[in-house]
Amino acid sequence: MLRNVAVGLGLMEFPFDSVAGFWRWIDLCEAGGVDSLWQTDRIVSREPILECMSVMAALAGRTRRLKFGVNVLSLAFRDPVLLAKQCATIDVLSEGRLLPAFGIGSPLAPEWRTLNLDTKTRGRKTDEGLEIIRRLWAEDEVDFEGVHYRLSGASISPKPVQPDLPMWIGGSSPAAIRRTARFGTGWQAGGETPDDIGAVVAAIREAAIAEGRPIDDDHYGAGIAFRFGRPDDPALERLFDAYRRRTGRDPQKYFAIGDAEAIVERIGHYVTAGISKFILRPAARGDSEMLAQTRRLVEEVLPLVATRWPRPKKRLAAE
């Protein structure tokens, strides 16, 4: 089956030496055929991490072709009415290029302790928030009576440019699968390996059909850190250590390291498991490394992806 495989790039920490380097990187992605850009959501951190919604607004003004999103936004930390308004505004100003993605947030995230929030509420708050956002994007007036949110006659204008603004959902627990089937137009994997993903995708498809709203086969995504080089590259040591501390996982199992063929082969394992949309994060530090790694991805990986997974003709004709 032909798959509409698309490769975007993502950031978690701010790995650049300068703001000028960041914008050079954005311009390279815009000119180089990268599908989309993604910013991780983190409010509290000692490491430099940009605030995700501010980044989306800046990208709306800087770029003309690129789509962009948050991978994924922890909805339990944010007011859903304000977030619905922010997303609609950015979608309008970018002429329909926003790709919002939502999740409940890791229970290990520092925000829960720092902001004195109860992790036990995150699932219910997220479900209520998703309901509110979806309705505000579509309805002129919203009344809502929930456990965490209550609204009377809420409305936002302008509405998003995209008539059915995408709503990608993260997480692989049974509750996250149900949430994706109920609200999502797509699913974004987190730390799942290709071996894990097949079962999750199958469960989401089954649950979505039961909800009467099946999700497009091309609307399943995953994030992969990549680096052109060798696993024993000294520059990777700090990045590997940070990844272990943050996730408790072995980075060797989750990073794509090697030449272009090795990186594409790793992408292929995810495609076989049911993934079509990719967020590749450069495992690099500093302006020169970020630009060099991204330039090689643009020049070497993207052509191989286009050759191995040619885009379906019906999609090309519709664009």
Counting Cβ atoms within 10 Å, is residue 64 exposed (0-12), middle (13-18) or buried (19+)? Answer: exposed
Mean pLDDT of the chain: 92
Residues sharing a CB contact under 8 Å with residue 273, sequence separation 6 or more, in sequence order = 194, 195, 197, 198, 201
Query: The domain that contains 300 carries what CATH number?
Result: 3.20.20.30
**pLDDT number for residue 306:** 96
CA distances from 68 to 65, 170, 301 (A): 10, 16, 20
- Structural domain boundaries enclosing 17: 6-318
Query: How far is 178 from 238, CA to CA, in rounded Å?
Result: 37
At residue 242, the pLDDT reads 75
Does some domain include residue 253? yes
pTM, full prediction: 0.91
Question: What's the pLDDT at 316?
Answer: 46
Mean pLDDT, range 186-205, rounded to an integer: 92
* Mean pLDDT across 20-40: 97
pLDDT band at 2 (very low <50, low <70, confident <90, very high): low
Three-state secondary-structure class, residue 17: coil
Annotate 96-127 with DSSP letters as a single string: S-EE-EEE---TT-HHHHHTT--GGGHHHHHH
Distance separating alpha carbons of residues 262 and 192, to the nearest angstrom: 19
Mean pLDDT of 161-165: 87
How much is the average pLDDT of 115-135? 94
From 296, 284, 289, select the one nearest 255 (Cα to Cα).
Answer: 284
Any alpha helices (H) in 186-311, and if so which ranges?
194-211, 236-247, 260-273, 287-296, 302-308
Which pLDDT tens digit goes with each residue over 258-283?
Answer: 999 999 999 999 999 999 999 999 99
Give pLDDT, residue 319.
43
CA 306 to CA 297: how far, in whole Å? 12
Indicate the helix (H) or strand (E) that contains 129.
helix 122-138
Token reading at 84: 């619905």
Q: Is the dihedral of CA 88, 52, 104, 203 positive or negative?
A: positive
How many residues appear in the chain? Answer: 319
Least confident of 2-6, 109-113, 115-119, 154-158: 2-6
| 1 occurs within a structural domain | no
Alpha-carbon distance 48 to 204, whole Å? 35
User: Residue 280 and residue 11: Cα distance in Å, rounded?
Assistant: 9
Q: What are phi and psi of 203, to 5 degrees?
A: -65, -40
Bridge partner residues of 68 (DSSP): 37, 98
Q: Which residues contact 151 (CB under 8 A, 6 or more apart)?
A: 81, 132, 142, 143, 144
| 122 domain residue, yes or no | yes
Per-residue pLDDT at 51: 97
Eight-state DSSP code of residue 95: T
Residue 196 has pLDDT above 50, yes or no: yes
**What confidence category does residue 235 fall into, taking pLDDT thresholds of 50, 70 and 90?**
confident
Most trustworthy range by pLDDT among 142-156, 158-172, 221-235, 246-260: 142-156
Name beta bridge partners: 69.
Answer: 38, 99
pLDDT band at 237 (very low <50, low <70, confident <90, very high): confident
What's the average model confidence in pLDDT over 173-192?
92
Which pLDDT does position 109 carry in this prediction? 87
pLDDT for 1 equals: 54
Count of domains for the chain: 1
Question: Which range among 107-111, 207-211, 262-266 shows the weakest confidence by mean pLDDT?
Answer: 107-111
Of 197, 166, 200, the C-alpha closest to 183 is 166
pLDDT tens digit string along 32-71?
999 999 999 999 999 999 999 999 999 999 999 999 999 8
Query: Looking at residue 73, what is its pLDDT?
Result: 94
Examine the pLDDT at 241 and tell me if it is beyond 90.
no
Per-residue pLDDT tens for 78-96?
Answer: 999 999 999 999 999 999 9
